[in-house]
Amino acid sequence: MGNRIPEAFIEQLLDRVDIVDVIQRRVPLKPAGREFHACCPFHDEKTPSFTVSPQKQFYHCFGCGAHGSAIGFLMRFEGLEFVDAVEELARNAGIAMPTLQKTAPPSPAFEPLAVAAELFSRRLEQHPPAQAYLQQRGLNQAMIDQYQLGFAPAAQDWLLQELRRQNYSMEVLDRAGLVNNGRDRFRDRIMFPIHDRRGRIIGFGGRAMNDYGPKYLNSPETEVFHKGNELYGLYHARQRNRPPRLLVVEGYMDVIALTQAGLEGAVATLGTATTPFQAERLFQTCNEVVFCFDGDNAGRKAAWRALESTLPQMRAGRQAAFLFLPDGEDPDTLIRAQGLADFNQRVQNATPLSEFFFQRLSEGLRMESLDGRAQLVAAAQPYLEKMPAGVFRDLMVEALQERSRHQGFRLPAAPAVKRSRKVQVTPVRLAVAMIVQDPILCQNVELPDLSEAEPPPGFELLLQLIDFCRSRPHITTAQLLEHWRHREHAKALEILATLSVPADAELRARELRHIMQALEVAAVAQKIETLGQRQASGTLDANGKEVLRALLARKTALQQISRDTDPE
Protein backbone atom coordinates (compact mmCIF):
# COMPACT_ATOMS: atom_id res chain seq x y z
CA MET A 1 0.00 0.00 0.00
CA GLY A 2 2.95 2.35 0.31
CA ASN A 3 1.87 4.99 2.83
CA ARG A 4 -1.25 4.54 4.95
CA ILE A 5 -3.46 7.43 5.97
CA PRO A 6 -4.57 7.43 9.65
CA GLU A 7 -8.18 6.29 10.01
CA ALA A 8 -9.00 9.22 12.29
CA PHE A 9 -8.11 11.59 9.45
CA ILE A 10 -10.33 9.71 6.97
CA GLU A 11 -13.22 9.96 9.42
CA GLN A 12 -12.57 13.69 9.96
CA LEU A 13 -12.30 14.32 6.20
CA LEU A 14 -15.60 12.59 5.41
CA ASP A 15 -17.22 14.56 8.22
CA ARG A 16 -16.15 17.82 6.51
CA VAL A 17 -16.85 16.81 2.90
CA ASP A 18 -20.35 16.63 1.42
CA ILE A 19 -20.61 13.86 -1.17
CA VAL A 20 -23.38 15.77 -2.95
CA ASP A 21 -21.00 18.70 -3.61
CA VAL A 22 -18.22 16.34 -4.73
CA ILE A 23 -20.41 14.52 -7.25
CA GLN A 24 -22.40 17.60 -8.34
CA ARG A 25 -19.18 19.20 -9.64
CA ARG A 26 -18.77 16.24 -11.97
CA VAL A 27 -22.27 14.86 -12.60
CA PRO A 28 -25.47 16.97 -12.77
CA LEU A 29 -27.73 15.87 -9.90
CA LYS A 30 -31.47 16.44 -9.48
CA PRO A 31 -33.26 16.46 -6.10
CA ALA A 32 -35.54 13.46 -5.50
CA GLY A 33 -37.00 13.61 -2.00
CA ARG A 34 -34.21 13.18 0.53
CA GLU A 35 -31.79 11.99 -2.14
CA PHE A 36 -30.40 13.12 -5.49
CA HIS A 37 -30.68 11.27 -8.78
CA ALA A 38 -28.75 11.26 -12.08
CA CYS A 39 -27.92 9.04 -15.02
CA CYS A 40 -25.04 6.89 -13.90
CA PRO A 41 -21.59 8.15 -15.02
CA PHE A 42 -20.24 4.58 -14.92
CA HIS A 43 -22.51 2.96 -17.48
CA ASP A 44 -24.75 4.07 -20.31
CA GLU A 45 -28.43 4.45 -19.39
CA LYS A 46 -31.49 6.42 -20.44
CA THR A 47 -33.41 6.32 -17.13
CA PRO A 48 -31.59 7.65 -14.03
CA SER A 49 -30.68 4.90 -11.56
CA PHE A 50 -27.79 6.66 -9.82
CA THR A 51 -28.66 7.96 -6.33
CA VAL A 52 -26.71 10.05 -3.83
CA SER A 53 -27.73 10.09 -0.17
CA PRO A 54 -26.70 13.15 1.91
CA GLN A 55 -27.68 11.30 5.09
CA LYS A 56 -25.53 8.26 4.38
CA GLN A 57 -22.88 10.26 2.47
CA PHE A 58 -23.06 7.36 0.02
CA TYR A 59 -23.79 6.88 -3.68
CA HIS A 60 -25.30 3.84 -5.33
CA CYS A 61 -26.33 2.89 -8.87
CA PHE A 62 -29.20 0.42 -9.05
CA GLY A 63 -28.25 -0.30 -12.66
CA CYS A 64 -24.59 -1.34 -12.57
CA GLY A 65 -24.12 -1.65 -8.81
CA ALA A 66 -21.44 1.05 -8.45
CA HIS A 67 -21.43 2.45 -4.92
CA GLY A 68 -19.25 4.04 -2.26
CA SER A 69 -18.20 7.16 -0.39
CA ALA A 70 -16.86 10.43 -1.80
CA ILE A 71 -13.41 8.83 -1.75
CA GLY A 72 -14.63 5.80 -3.68
CA PHE A 73 -16.41 8.03 -6.19
CA LEU A 74 -13.23 9.96 -7.01
CA MET A 75 -11.26 6.74 -7.29
CA ARG A 76 -13.72 5.36 -9.83
CA PHE A 77 -14.71 8.54 -11.68
CA GLU A 78 -11.23 10.05 -12.05
CA GLY A 79 -9.18 6.87 -11.94
CA LEU A 80 -7.34 7.91 -8.77
CA GLU A 81 -5.61 5.70 -6.27
CA PHE A 82 -6.87 5.79 -2.69
CA VAL A 83 -4.21 8.23 -1.41
CA ASP A 84 -4.68 10.50 -4.45
CA ALA A 85 -8.45 10.67 -3.89
CA VAL A 86 -7.98 11.52 -0.21
CA GLU A 87 -5.42 14.20 -1.08
CA GLU A 88 -7.77 15.81 -3.61
CA LEU A 89 -10.70 15.87 -1.18
CA ALA A 90 -8.47 17.28 1.56
CA ARG A 91 -7.08 20.00 -0.73
CA ASN A 92 -10.56 21.08 -1.81
CA ALA A 93 -11.75 21.09 1.81
CA GLY A 94 -8.74 23.11 2.98
CA ILE A 95 -7.53 20.35 5.32
CA ALA A 96 -3.82 19.67 5.69
CA MET A 97 -2.81 16.07 4.98
CA PRO A 98 -1.32 14.21 7.97
CA THR A 99 2.05 12.53 8.02
CA LEU A 100 1.48 9.22 6.33
CA GLN A 101 2.04 6.02 8.27
CA LYS A 102 4.66 3.87 6.61
CA THR A 103 3.65 0.40 5.46
CA ALA A 104 5.29 -1.39 2.55
CA PRO A 105 8.17 0.70 1.13
CA PRO A 106 7.72 2.26 -2.32
CA SER A 107 9.85 1.12 -5.23
CA PRO A 108 13.53 2.10 -4.82
CA ALA A 109 13.39 3.44 -8.39
CA PHE A 110 11.47 6.60 -7.45
CA GLU A 111 14.26 8.25 -5.47
CA PRO A 112 17.10 8.11 -8.04
CA LEU A 113 14.68 9.26 -10.75
CA ALA A 114 13.82 12.36 -8.70
CA VAL A 115 17.50 13.00 -7.98
CA ALA A 116 18.34 12.56 -11.68
CA ALA A 117 15.71 15.14 -12.64
CA GLU A 118 17.28 17.63 -10.22
CA LEU A 119 20.75 16.94 -11.63
CA PHE A 120 19.52 17.37 -15.22
CA SER A 121 17.82 20.65 -14.26
CA ARG A 122 21.02 22.05 -12.75
CA ARG A 123 23.02 20.94 -15.75
CA LEU A 124 20.64 22.80 -18.09
CA GLU A 125 21.49 26.02 -16.26
CA GLN A 126 25.17 25.39 -17.08
CA HIS A 127 24.73 24.51 -20.76
CA PRO A 128 24.11 27.55 -23.04
CA PRO A 129 23.46 25.52 -26.24
CA ALA A 130 20.59 23.65 -24.58
CA GLN A 131 19.21 26.90 -23.19
CA ALA A 132 19.47 28.49 -26.62
CA TYR A 133 17.55 25.57 -28.17
CA LEU A 134 14.65 25.99 -25.72
CA GLN A 135 14.63 29.76 -26.25
CA GLN A 136 14.59 29.20 -30.00
CA ARG A 137 11.52 26.98 -29.50
CA GLY A 138 9.91 29.88 -27.66
CA LEU A 139 9.75 28.38 -24.16
CA ASN A 140 9.93 30.77 -21.24
CA GLN A 141 11.54 30.06 -17.88
CA ALA A 142 8.20 29.51 -16.14
CA MET A 143 7.41 26.56 -18.44
CA ILE A 144 10.94 25.18 -18.11
CA ASP A 145 10.55 25.23 -14.33
CA GLN A 146 6.99 23.92 -14.30
CA TYR A 147 7.81 20.89 -16.44
CA GLN A 148 11.25 20.48 -14.78
CA LEU A 149 13.17 20.40 -18.05
CA GLY A 150 16.84 19.53 -17.91
CA PHE A 151 19.88 18.49 -19.91
CA ALA A 152 21.93 15.27 -20.00
CA PRO A 153 25.60 15.86 -20.93
CA ALA A 154 27.30 13.92 -23.70
CA ALA A 155 29.65 12.09 -21.33
CA GLN A 156 28.94 8.36 -21.19
CA ASP A 157 28.88 8.06 -17.40
CA TRP A 158 28.23 11.57 -16.04
CA LEU A 159 24.89 10.70 -14.40
CA LEU A 160 26.14 7.28 -13.32
CA GLN A 161 29.08 8.80 -11.44
CA GLU A 162 26.90 11.50 -9.86
CA LEU A 163 24.41 8.95 -8.57
CA ARG A 164 27.05 6.45 -7.44
CA ARG A 165 28.55 9.22 -5.31
CA GLN A 166 25.16 9.37 -3.60
CA ASN A 167 25.37 5.62 -2.89
CA TYR A 168 22.81 4.39 -5.42
CA SER A 169 23.68 0.88 -6.54
CA MET A 170 23.93 -0.20 -10.17
CA GLU A 171 21.00 -2.54 -9.55
CA VAL A 172 18.72 0.31 -8.45
CA LEU A 173 19.86 2.56 -11.31
CA ASP A 174 19.14 -0.23 -13.77
CA ARG A 175 15.69 -0.81 -12.22
CA ALA A 176 15.03 2.92 -12.65
CA GLY A 177 16.00 2.74 -16.35
CA LEU A 178 18.78 5.32 -15.99
CA VAL A 179 21.68 3.15 -17.18
CA ASN A 180 22.20 0.79 -20.08
CA ASN A 181 25.14 -1.61 -20.30
CA GLY A 182 26.98 0.27 -17.58
CA ARG A 183 26.60 3.68 -19.24
CA ASP A 184 24.18 6.57 -19.01
CA ARG A 185 21.07 5.84 -21.06
CA PHE A 186 20.53 9.54 -21.89
CA ARG A 187 23.40 11.56 -23.35
CA ASP A 188 23.48 14.99 -25.01
CA ARG A 189 19.71 15.38 -24.79
CA ILE A 190 17.12 17.85 -23.56
CA MET A 191 15.38 15.95 -20.75
CA PHE A 192 11.62 15.86 -20.16
CA PRO A 193 10.64 14.20 -16.85
CA ILE A 194 7.50 12.05 -17.05
CA HIS A 195 5.21 12.16 -14.00
CA ASP A 196 2.60 9.74 -12.76
CA ARG A 197 -0.80 10.82 -11.43
CA ARG A 198 0.72 11.59 -8.02
CA GLY A 199 3.42 13.81 -9.48
CA ARG A 200 6.24 11.32 -8.96
CA ILE A 201 8.85 11.12 -11.70
CA ILE A 202 8.67 7.65 -13.25
CA GLY A 203 10.79 8.10 -16.37
CA PHE A 204 12.20 10.51 -18.95
CA GLY A 205 11.93 11.48 -22.56
CA GLY A 206 15.12 12.83 -24.14
CA ARG A 207 15.34 15.04 -27.26
CA ALA A 208 18.67 14.67 -29.07
CA MET A 209 20.92 17.72 -29.50
CA ASN A 210 22.85 16.04 -32.31
CA ASP A 211 22.23 13.85 -35.35
CA TYR A 212 23.28 10.59 -33.68
CA GLY A 213 20.70 8.08 -32.53
CA PRO A 214 16.94 8.54 -32.41
CA LYS A 215 15.56 12.08 -32.24
CA TYR A 216 13.53 11.17 -29.15
CA LEU A 217 14.41 8.47 -26.63
CA ASN A 218 12.14 7.33 -23.80
CA SER A 219 12.93 5.42 -20.63
CA PRO A 220 12.53 1.66 -21.02
CA GLU A 221 9.70 -0.27 -19.39
CA THR A 222 10.47 -0.52 -15.67
CA GLU A 223 8.65 -1.47 -12.49
CA VAL A 224 7.34 2.12 -12.21
CA PHE A 225 7.12 3.18 -15.87
CA HIS A 226 4.78 1.59 -18.43
CA LYS A 227 4.52 3.89 -21.41
CA GLY A 228 1.23 2.41 -22.60
CA ASN A 229 -0.37 3.49 -19.31
CA GLU A 230 0.94 7.05 -19.01
CA LEU A 231 0.32 10.39 -20.71
CA TYR A 232 2.87 13.19 -20.69
CA GLY A 233 1.45 16.36 -19.14
CA LEU A 234 -1.64 14.75 -17.61
CA TYR A 235 -0.43 15.40 -14.08
CA HIS A 236 0.16 19.08 -14.89
CA ALA A 237 -3.21 19.39 -16.64
CA ARG A 238 -4.97 17.98 -13.58
CA GLN A 239 -3.18 20.44 -11.30
CA ARG A 240 -4.90 23.29 -13.13
CA ASN A 241 -8.36 22.09 -12.09
CA ARG A 242 -10.50 19.99 -14.39
CA PRO A 243 -9.79 21.12 -17.98
CA PRO A 244 -12.76 21.63 -20.34
CA ARG A 245 -11.25 19.09 -22.71
CA LEU A 246 -8.01 17.18 -23.26
CA LEU A 247 -6.02 17.72 -26.44
CA VAL A 248 -3.80 14.74 -27.29
CA VAL A 249 -0.73 15.73 -29.31
CA GLU A 250 2.36 13.82 -30.39
CA GLY A 251 5.29 15.64 -28.76
CA TYR A 252 6.52 16.87 -25.40
CA MET A 253 7.36 20.25 -26.85
CA ASP A 254 3.85 20.59 -28.27
CA VAL A 255 2.36 20.03 -24.81
CA ILE A 256 4.51 22.71 -23.22
CA ALA A 257 4.12 25.23 -26.06
CA LEU A 258 0.32 24.89 -26.04
CA THR A 259 0.21 25.29 -22.27
CA GLN A 260 2.42 28.37 -22.46
CA ALA A 261 0.09 29.86 -25.09
CA GLY A 262 -2.85 29.46 -22.71
CA LEU A 263 -4.48 26.25 -23.95
CA GLU A 264 -5.50 24.03 -21.03
CA GLY A 265 -5.40 20.24 -21.10
CA ALA A 266 -2.62 19.40 -23.59
CA VAL A 267 -1.15 15.91 -23.13
CA ALA A 268 0.92 13.52 -25.27
CA THR A 269 1.31 9.80 -25.71
CA LEU A 270 4.84 8.54 -25.17
CA GLY A 271 5.96 7.68 -28.67
CA THR A 272 3.37 4.93 -29.11
CA ALA A 273 -0.10 4.61 -30.54
CA THR A 274 -2.90 5.51 -28.12
CA THR A 275 -3.76 2.47 -26.00
CA PRO A 276 -7.20 1.54 -24.58
CA PHE A 277 -5.81 2.15 -21.09
CA GLN A 278 -4.74 5.68 -22.05
CA ALA A 279 -8.10 6.33 -23.70
CA GLU A 280 -9.96 5.37 -20.53
CA ARG A 281 -7.62 7.49 -18.42
CA LEU A 282 -8.31 10.47 -20.69
CA PHE A 283 -12.07 10.10 -20.19
CA GLN A 284 -11.61 9.67 -16.44
CA THR A 285 -10.20 13.20 -16.45
CA CYS A 286 -12.84 14.88 -18.62
CA ASN A 287 -15.62 13.92 -21.01
CA GLU A 288 -14.23 15.55 -24.17
CA VAL A 289 -11.03 14.43 -25.91
CA VAL A 290 -9.58 15.82 -29.14
CA PHE A 291 -6.77 13.93 -30.87
CA CYS A 292 -4.43 16.18 -32.84
CA PHE A 293 -2.38 14.65 -35.69
CA ASP A 294 -0.59 15.65 -38.85
CA GLY A 295 -2.86 15.70 -41.88
CA ASP A 296 -0.59 13.36 -43.91
CA ASN A 297 -1.08 9.64 -44.38
CA ALA A 298 0.98 8.75 -41.31
CA GLY A 299 -1.06 11.13 -39.16
CA ARG A 300 -4.34 9.63 -40.35
CA LYS A 301 -3.08 6.12 -39.62
CA ALA A 302 -2.16 7.23 -36.10
CA ALA A 303 -5.61 8.81 -35.74
CA TRP A 304 -7.28 5.57 -36.78
CA ARG A 305 -5.29 3.61 -34.18
CA ALA A 306 -6.43 6.15 -31.58
CA LEU A 307 -10.02 5.68 -32.74
CA GLU A 308 -9.72 1.90 -32.40
CA SER A 309 -8.62 2.30 -28.77
CA THR A 310 -11.21 4.98 -28.01
CA LEU A 311 -14.33 3.43 -29.54
CA PRO A 312 -14.80 0.77 -26.83
CA GLN A 313 -14.66 3.54 -24.19
CA MET A 314 -17.38 5.67 -25.79
CA ARG A 315 -20.71 6.07 -24.06
CA ALA A 316 -23.31 8.79 -23.62
CA GLY A 317 -21.78 12.01 -22.32
CA ARG A 318 -18.33 11.32 -23.77
CA GLN A 319 -17.09 13.08 -26.90
CA ALA A 320 -14.06 12.43 -29.09
CA ALA A 321 -12.89 14.28 -32.17
CA PHE A 322 -9.89 14.46 -34.50
CA LEU A 323 -7.98 17.58 -35.52
CA PHE A 324 -5.75 17.24 -38.58
CA LEU A 325 -3.09 19.93 -39.03
CA PRO A 326 -1.94 21.49 -42.32
CA ASP A 327 1.08 19.91 -44.01
CA GLY A 328 4.35 20.89 -42.41
CA GLU A 329 2.74 22.26 -39.24
CA ASP A 330 2.66 20.95 -35.70
CA PRO A 331 0.76 22.39 -32.73
CA ASP A 332 3.85 24.23 -31.51
CA THR A 333 4.54 26.08 -34.79
CA LEU A 334 0.87 26.61 -35.60
CA ILE A 335 -0.13 28.25 -32.34
CA ARG A 336 2.93 30.52 -32.43
CA ALA A 337 2.20 31.54 -36.00
CA GLN A 338 -1.60 31.90 -35.83
CA GLY A 339 -2.28 32.51 -32.13
CA LEU A 340 -4.47 30.89 -29.48
CA ALA A 341 -7.83 32.08 -30.86
CA ASP A 342 -7.16 30.51 -34.26
CA PHE A 343 -6.00 27.26 -32.70
CA ASN A 344 -9.02 27.09 -30.40
CA GLN A 345 -11.27 27.55 -33.43
CA ARG A 346 -9.55 24.63 -35.13
CA VAL A 347 -10.17 22.52 -32.03
CA GLN A 348 -13.84 23.54 -32.01
CA ASN A 349 -14.12 22.49 -35.68
CA ALA A 350 -12.38 19.13 -35.19
CA THR A 351 -13.92 16.14 -36.99
CA PRO A 352 -16.23 14.17 -34.64
CA LEU A 353 -15.27 10.55 -34.04
CA SER A 354 -18.42 9.26 -35.79
CA GLU A 355 -17.71 11.30 -38.92
CA PHE A 356 -14.07 10.23 -39.09
CA PHE A 357 -15.11 6.61 -38.52
CA PHE A 358 -17.46 6.48 -41.49
CA GLN A 359 -15.20 8.59 -43.70
CA ARG A 360 -12.31 6.21 -43.15
CA LEU A 361 -14.33 3.03 -43.69
CA SER A 362 -15.97 4.46 -46.83
CA GLU A 363 -12.66 5.31 -48.53
CA GLY A 364 -12.39 3.53 -51.87
CA LEU A 365 -15.93 2.17 -51.70
CA ARG A 366 -18.58 2.89 -54.36
CA MET A 367 -21.35 3.92 -51.98
CA GLU A 368 -23.84 4.28 -54.83
CA SER A 369 -23.63 0.52 -55.38
CA LEU A 370 -25.08 -2.31 -53.31
CA ASP A 371 -21.66 -3.95 -53.11
CA GLY A 372 -20.04 -0.79 -51.71
CA ARG A 373 -22.71 -0.32 -49.06
CA ALA A 374 -22.51 -4.00 -48.09
CA GLN A 375 -18.73 -3.64 -47.70
CA LEU A 376 -19.27 -0.67 -45.39
CA VAL A 377 -21.62 -2.68 -43.17
CA ALA A 378 -19.18 -5.59 -43.03
CA ALA A 379 -16.28 -3.27 -42.16
CA ALA A 380 -18.18 -1.30 -39.49
CA GLN A 381 -19.87 -4.17 -37.69
CA PRO A 382 -16.79 -5.54 -35.77
CA TYR A 383 -16.02 -2.07 -34.42
CA LEU A 384 -19.58 -1.29 -33.37
CA GLU A 385 -19.85 -4.64 -31.58
CA LYS A 386 -16.98 -3.58 -29.31
CA MET A 387 -18.83 -0.48 -28.14
CA PRO A 388 -20.70 -0.50 -24.81
CA ALA A 389 -24.47 -0.74 -25.11
CA GLY A 390 -26.23 2.59 -24.87
CA VAL A 391 -27.31 5.74 -26.65
CA PHE A 392 -24.04 6.40 -28.48
CA ARG A 393 -23.85 2.91 -29.94
CA ASP A 394 -27.53 3.11 -30.95
CA LEU A 395 -26.84 6.36 -32.82
CA MET A 396 -23.81 4.85 -34.55
CA VAL A 397 -25.98 1.95 -35.71
CA GLU A 398 -28.60 4.41 -37.01
CA ALA A 399 -25.88 6.32 -38.88
CA LEU A 400 -24.70 3.07 -40.49
CA GLN A 401 -28.26 2.19 -41.45
CA GLU A 402 -28.66 5.56 -43.18
CA ARG A 403 -25.34 5.38 -45.04
CA SER A 404 -25.88 1.78 -46.14
CA ARG A 405 -29.64 2.22 -46.69
CA HIS A 406 -30.00 -1.01 -44.73
CA GLN A 407 -32.65 -0.26 -42.12
CA GLY A 408 -32.81 -3.90 -41.08
CA PHE A 409 -29.20 -3.95 -39.83
CA ARG A 410 -28.98 -4.89 -36.14
CA LEU A 411 -26.14 -5.67 -33.80
CA PRO A 412 -26.18 -8.73 -31.54
CA ALA A 413 -27.41 -7.91 -28.07
CA ALA A 414 -24.59 -6.41 -26.00
CA PRO A 415 -23.63 -8.10 -22.74
CA ALA A 416 -25.83 -6.90 -19.92
CA VAL A 417 -24.41 -4.39 -17.49
CA LYS A 418 -22.99 -6.16 -14.46
CA ARG A 419 -25.53 -5.91 -11.69
CA SER A 420 -25.09 -5.88 -7.96
CA ARG A 421 -24.39 -9.35 -6.64
CA LYS A 422 -27.49 -11.03 -5.19
CA VAL A 423 -27.16 -12.11 -1.57
CA GLN A 424 -29.28 -14.46 0.47
CA VAL A 425 -30.99 -12.28 3.09
CA THR A 426 -30.64 -13.88 6.52
CA PRO A 427 -31.76 -12.15 9.74
CA VAL A 428 -28.14 -11.38 10.68
CA ARG A 429 -27.37 -9.95 7.24
CA LEU A 430 -30.49 -7.81 7.36
CA ALA A 431 -29.46 -6.50 10.80
CA VAL A 432 -25.97 -5.69 9.49
CA ALA A 433 -27.46 -3.97 6.43
CA MET A 434 -29.70 -1.76 8.57
CA ILE A 435 -26.83 -0.79 10.88
CA VAL A 436 -24.50 0.01 7.97
CA GLN A 437 -27.17 2.19 6.38
CA ASP A 438 -28.35 3.76 9.65
CA PRO A 439 -25.58 3.47 12.30
CA ILE A 440 -27.57 5.42 14.92
CA LEU A 441 -29.74 2.29 15.36
CA CYS A 442 -26.95 0.81 17.50
CA GLN A 443 -27.40 3.33 20.29
CA ASN A 444 -30.58 1.78 21.70
CA VAL A 445 -30.56 -1.81 20.45
CA GLU A 446 -30.53 -4.57 23.10
CA LEU A 447 -28.07 -7.37 22.33
CA PRO A 448 -29.40 -10.93 22.41
CA ASP A 449 -28.02 -13.53 24.81
CA LEU A 450 -26.74 -16.36 22.62
CA SER A 451 -24.82 -18.16 25.36
CA GLU A 452 -27.20 -21.13 25.05
CA ALA A 453 -26.22 -21.95 21.46
CA GLU A 454 -23.70 -21.55 18.66
CA PRO A 455 -24.00 -18.01 17.21
CA PRO A 456 -25.24 -17.88 13.59
CA PRO A 457 -22.83 -16.92 10.76
CA GLY A 458 -22.04 -13.22 10.73
CA PHE A 459 -23.05 -12.60 14.36
CA GLU A 460 -19.49 -11.73 15.40
CA LEU A 461 -19.33 -9.04 12.69
CA LEU A 462 -22.71 -7.73 13.85
CA LEU A 463 -21.34 -7.32 17.39
CA GLN A 464 -18.22 -5.57 16.06
CA LEU A 465 -20.36 -3.13 14.10
CA ILE A 466 -22.57 -2.35 17.08
CA ASP A 467 -19.58 -1.78 19.36
CA PHE A 468 -17.87 0.42 16.75
CA CYS A 469 -20.97 2.54 16.06
CA ARG A 470 -21.74 2.99 19.77
CA SER A 471 -18.28 4.52 20.22
CA ARG A 472 -19.02 6.98 17.37
CA PRO A 473 -22.63 8.15 17.77
CA HIS A 474 -22.60 10.45 14.72
CA ILE A 475 -20.81 8.21 12.21
CA THR A 476 -22.20 7.98 8.65
CA THR A 477 -22.44 5.04 6.30
CA ALA A 478 -19.50 6.39 4.28
CA GLN A 479 -17.26 6.74 7.34
CA LEU A 480 -18.13 3.25 8.52
CA LEU A 481 -17.33 1.68 5.16
CA GLU A 482 -14.05 3.60 4.84
CA HIS A 483 -13.07 2.33 8.30
CA TRP A 484 -13.55 -1.22 7.00
CA ARG A 485 -11.99 -0.57 3.54
CA HIS A 486 -8.82 -2.59 4.15
CA ARG A 487 -10.34 -5.05 6.63
CA GLU A 488 -11.98 -8.44 6.34
CA HIS A 489 -15.68 -8.25 5.38
CA ALA A 490 -15.21 -4.92 3.53
CA LYS A 491 -16.81 -6.28 0.35
CA ALA A 492 -19.70 -7.84 2.26
CA LEU A 493 -20.44 -4.56 4.03
CA GLU A 494 -20.40 -2.66 0.71
CA ILE A 495 -22.96 -5.06 -0.73
CA LEU A 496 -25.16 -4.89 2.37
CA ALA A 497 -24.98 -1.09 2.24
CA THR A 498 -27.10 -1.33 -0.92
CA LEU A 499 -29.56 -3.95 0.34
CA SER A 500 -33.19 -2.88 0.47
CA VAL A 501 -34.23 -2.10 4.09
CA PRO A 502 -37.31 -0.36 5.56
CA ALA A 503 -37.27 3.28 4.46
CA ASP A 504 -38.84 4.59 7.68
CA ALA A 505 -36.43 5.05 10.61
CA GLU A 506 -38.97 3.81 13.18
CA LEU A 507 -39.69 0.70 11.12
CA ARG A 508 -35.94 -0.01 10.87
CA ALA A 509 -35.57 0.26 14.65
CA ARG A 510 -38.53 -2.08 15.25
CA GLU A 511 -37.25 -4.56 12.67
CA LEU A 512 -33.80 -4.61 14.29
CA ARG A 513 -35.31 -5.24 17.75
CA HIS A 514 -37.41 -8.04 16.28
CA ILE A 515 -34.32 -9.67 14.72
CA MET A 516 -32.40 -9.54 18.00
CA GLN A 517 -35.31 -11.10 19.87
CA ALA A 518 -35.72 -13.77 17.17
CA LEU A 519 -32.01 -14.65 17.40
CA GLU A 520 -32.32 -15.17 21.14
CA VAL A 521 -35.50 -17.25 20.73
CA ALA A 522 -33.69 -19.43 18.16
CA ALA A 523 -30.74 -19.91 20.53
CA VAL A 524 -33.01 -20.94 23.39
CA ALA A 525 -34.99 -23.27 21.11
CA GLN A 526 -31.76 -24.90 19.94
CA LYS A 527 -30.72 -25.61 23.55
CA ILE A 528 -34.22 -26.88 24.42
CA GLU A 529 -34.06 -29.32 21.48
CA THR A 530 -30.71 -30.67 22.67
CA LEU A 531 -31.90 -31.16 26.25
CA GLY A 532 -35.23 -32.62 25.04
CA GLN A 533 -33.38 -35.28 23.07
CA ARG A 534 -31.39 -36.21 26.16
CA GLN A 535 -34.59 -36.36 28.24
CA ALA A 536 -36.23 -38.66 25.67
CA SER A 537 -33.25 -41.01 25.80
CA GLY A 538 -33.26 -41.02 29.62
CA THR A 539 -29.80 -39.43 29.98
CA LEU A 540 -30.92 -36.05 31.38
CA ASP A 541 -30.15 -35.67 35.09
CA ALA A 542 -32.16 -33.66 37.63
CA ASN A 543 -30.07 -30.52 37.12
CA GLY A 544 -30.56 -30.77 33.37
CA LYS A 545 -34.32 -31.10 33.82
CA GLU A 546 -34.33 -27.93 35.91
CA VAL A 547 -32.42 -26.09 33.19
CA LEU A 548 -34.87 -27.37 30.58
CA ARG A 549 -37.87 -26.09 32.57
CA ALA A 550 -36.20 -22.68 32.93
CA LEU A 551 -35.47 -22.52 29.21
CA LEU A 552 -39.05 -23.41 28.29
CA ALA A 553 -40.32 -20.60 30.52
CA ARG A 554 -37.78 -18.21 29.01
CA LYS A 555 -38.82 -19.18 25.48
CA THR A 556 -42.46 -18.46 26.27
CA ALA A 557 -41.57 -15.05 27.72
CA LEU A 558 -39.39 -14.14 24.73
CA GLN A 559 -42.10 -15.15 22.27
CA GLN A 560 -44.59 -12.96 24.11
CA ILE A 561 -42.18 -10.00 23.95
CA SER A 562 -41.63 -10.68 20.26
CA ARG A 563 -45.39 -10.69 19.61
CA ASP A 564 -45.78 -7.43 21.51
CA THR A 565 -43.07 -5.71 19.45
CA ASP A 566 -43.51 -7.49 16.11
CA PRO A 567 -43.64 -4.94 13.25
CA GLU A 568 -47.05 -4.65 11.71
**pLDDT reported for residue 164:** 94
CA–CA separation, 218 and 238 (whole Å)? 23
Three-point CA angle 354, 356, 357, nearest 5°: 60
404 neighbors 50 (Cβ within 8 angstroms): no
Per DSSP (E only), the strands in 346-470 are 351-352
**pLDDT reported for residue 241:** 65
CA–CA separation, 326 and 95 (whole Å)? 48
**Of 13, 15, 22, 18, which Cα lies nearest the Cα of 95?**
13
The H-assigned helical ranges of 43-200 are 70-77, 82-93, 110-125, 128-136, 141-146, 158-165, 170-175
**pLDDT reported for residue 206:** 95
What 3-state DSSP class applies to 291? strand
357 neighbors 321 (Cβ within 8 angstroms): no
Structural domains in the chain, sorted by start: 3-102 (3.90.580.10), 110-218 (3.90.980.10), 245-357 (3.40.1360.10), 371-420 (no CATH), 427-565 (1.10.860.10)
Residues in the chain: 568
- What are phi and psi for residue 218, nearest 5 degrees? -100, 160
pLDDT, tens digit only, all 568 positions of the chain:
345 788 889 999 999 999 999 999 888 899 999 999 999 888 877 889 999 999 999 999 988 889 999 999 998 887 778 888 898 899 888 898 887 765 556 789 999 999 999 999 999 999 999 999 999 999 999 999 999 999 999 999 999 999 999 999 999 999 999 999 899 999 999 999 999 988 899 999 999 988 777 899 999 999 999 999 999 999 999 887 678 899 999 889 999 999 999 998 999 998 788 999 899 889 888 889 999 998 888 889 999 999 999 999 888 778 999 999 998 888 998 999 999 999 999 999 999 999 999 999 999 999 999 999 999 999 999 999 988 888 888 899 999 999 998 887 888 765 555 554 556 788 889 999 999 999 999 988 888 777 766 788 888 899 999 999 999 888 999 999 999 988 888 888 988 998 888 888 888 888 888 888 888 777 767 666 666 677 777 776 777 677 667 667 766 766 665 555 554 4
248 neighbors 306 (Cβ within 8 angstroms): yes
Kind and range of the H or E run holding 465: helix 459-470
CA–CA separation, 238 and 264 (whole Å)? 10
436 neighbors 406 (Cβ within 8 angstroms): no
Three-point CA angle 299, 356, 363, nearest 5°: 85
**pLDDT reported for residue 567:** 46
**pLDDT reported for residue 102:** 57
201-208, strands of its sheet edge to edge: 150-152, 189-195, 201-208, 216-218
Q: Against a cut of 0.85, is the pTM above it?
A: no
